[in-house]
Structure 1
C-alpha cells in the first residue's frame, strides 16, 4: 500500500505518495491538470508491490507549501528544477520518469535537458511539445482541440471553473473517472489560491519554446478518444525521440488514461520499466 509523505527541497516541501522498498528501482511520477499525485496511486501501489520504489508528488502550486504567487514562478524551467530537486532529496542520481498531461510536458523537458539523470521516460496523453506545436500550426483539428488553453489563461478562469459547484471543472473529466476522484480534485482546487496556482502553469508557459529531441528510451501512451490531443500530434511524436521509442495506442480510452484504464496503464508501465 502507498503511504503519504513529504519531501523537503529548497523550493519548499512537496506532498507525495510512495510505495516500495527504499532500495528499489526508483520511479518518479508527475500528475497533470487539474489533478494531483493521487492520480497515480494505483500505479504507485502496484509498482511498489513489484519491488520498485515509486513516488508521485503534488507538483508546484498543487502542494500548499510550494505555491508561489508570481506567474513567472511556474515557467517550465522551475518545474523541471522541482523534479530534479525531489529526486535529489530522495537520493536518486538516476531514475525512471513518468508524466501525464502537464506532467508529461515537464517530463519531456526534463528528459531533453537532463538525459543523464533518466533511465527511461514514459509520457502519457501529451506528446513531445514539438509534435504538439507542429500540429497546432498545421492541423485545424488540433487547433480546435486546444481551444481551451487560451480560455484557461484568462483572468476570469477561476470564477468560471468553480461556478455552479465547479460544474465546468468537473466536466473536464468527461465522466471517465470515478466521481470520488473528481470530488477530491475539486475540493483541493477550491482551497484559497490553489486553482490560481494550477492555472498559472498555463499563464506562464512560453508555447514557442520547445525542448530538444529526447535520447533516453521512451514510451508514449495515447488514448484513442483523447479530446485534447489529436492523431496528428500523437502519431508524429516519435519524430522527436532519437533513442529507443515505443508508441502505445489505447483504444476507447480518453485523456485520463492512468485512472480510466489503471490496470492497462500499469501493465504497460511495468513492461517498459523492466
Structure 2
C-alpha cells in the first residue's frame, strides 16, 4: 500500500493506493468518524487478487480539501468529488464501495452516474429512499437517527467529542475497532478544523434532489447490531435496486463492519466483483433472476 495525493479542481485528496496499475479499478469511500484507513484489510485482499484499489480521505478529512462552509458538503458536491477523483485517475468506469457516509455517497453516485459505476457495494447504509421511508413510518429508525440532529449543533458537538482525550469521539467506536485504528482516527480528527469539517456532512442540509432506483449490480451488507440503521430500512433497500441485488446480513456485528468483520466483508466483496465480470458490457445489465435476498 502507498499513500498518494490526488489533485482535483476541488482540492487535494490524500489516498491509500494498492494493486497493479493495470488492475480493474475499485474506489472505496469511508464514513464518519474514520478515514480511508478503515479499508486496510479490504485493500489488501483486493490488491492480492489483482485489483487496483484507491481509498481516499474524503472532503473535509483531507487537509487539502477542507472548505469551512457546511454548504460545501452538499451531496451533489460529494458526488462531484468522486467523479473528479476517478477522472484524475483516468478511470472511465470503476467499482464503487462505501460505508456509513461513504455508503450514502456511493448510492447517490450510482444513481447519478450509472454508466461509470460498474458495480456498487454498500456497507451499513441503506438506500436513501428506504431510509426516508423508515424515518416516516418506523419509530425504531427515528430513535436511531436522533444523534444526527444532535450533532448539527456548533461548536457544542466538537467540544463534547474532543473533551477528555476525545472520550466522546472514542465512545462512538464502541470498542469494536482495533485500538491503533481508533487512536489514528482521533489524532486525525483532532487536527484544527478537521472534526468540524467532518461534522459539516451532517450540517449541509438535505440533498439537492430526489434519488431513484439503482440499476447497477449491487451488494448491500447490513449487520444486526448496527446502532444507526435498523431492519426496516435495511430490508426495504431491495425495493430501490432494479439491477442484480444481493443482500447479506451479518449476525452479531455492529456498525463498524469493515474492521469488525474484515474477512467476511472482503470475501463478499470479491464474490460480488467476480460475479459481475471484468470490464464486460453485461456488468450493468439488470437481471431479476440474479437477485438474492
Per the normalisation by structure 2, the TM-score is 0.92
Tell me the equivalent position of 2:167.
167
Q: Give the Cα separation in 1 of the matches to 2:259 and 2:218.
A: 21
SS at match of 1:115: coil
The count of corresponding residues between Structure 1 and Structure 2 is: 273
1:182 Cα offset (Å): 0.6
Q: Give the Cα separation in 1 of the matches to 2:20 and 2:157.
A: 42
Q: Give the Cα separation in 2 of the matches to 1:168 and 1:234.
A: 27
Q: Give the Cα separation in 2 of the matches to 1:123 and 1:210.
A: 19
Tell me the equivalent position of 2:17.
18
Per-residue deviation, residues 162-207 of structure 1 (Å, max 9, x unmatched): 1111111111111111111111101111100000000000000306
Correspondence list, 1:1-274, <5 A: 2-155=1-154, 156-206=156-206, 209-274=209-274
1:4 Cα offset (Å): 0.8
Distance 1:127 1:39, change over 3 A: same
Per-residue deviation, residues 222-255 of structure 1 (Å, max 9, x unmatched): 0111011000000010111111111000111110
Q: Give the Cα separation in 2 of the matches to 1:96 and 1:205.
A: 28
Q: Give the Cα separation in 1 of the matches to 2:205 and 2:248.
A: 27
Q: Give the Cα separation in 1 of the matches to 2:173 and 2:237.
A: 24
SS at match of 2:203: helix
Q: 2:121, 2:218 within 8 Å by CA — same for their partners in 1?
A: yes
Q: Give the Cα separation in 1 of the matches to 2:221 and 2:178.
A: 21
SS at match of 2:109: helix
1:123 Cα offset (Å): 0.5
Per-residue deviation, residues 3-38 of structure 1 (Å, max 9, x unmatched): 111111111111000111111010000000000001
SS at match of 2:65: coil
Structure 2: gaps (5+ residues):
275-293
Per the normalisation by structure 1, the TM-score is 0.98
1:42 Cα offset (Å): 1.1
Q: 1:129, 1:210 within 8 Å by CA — same for their partners in 2?
A: no
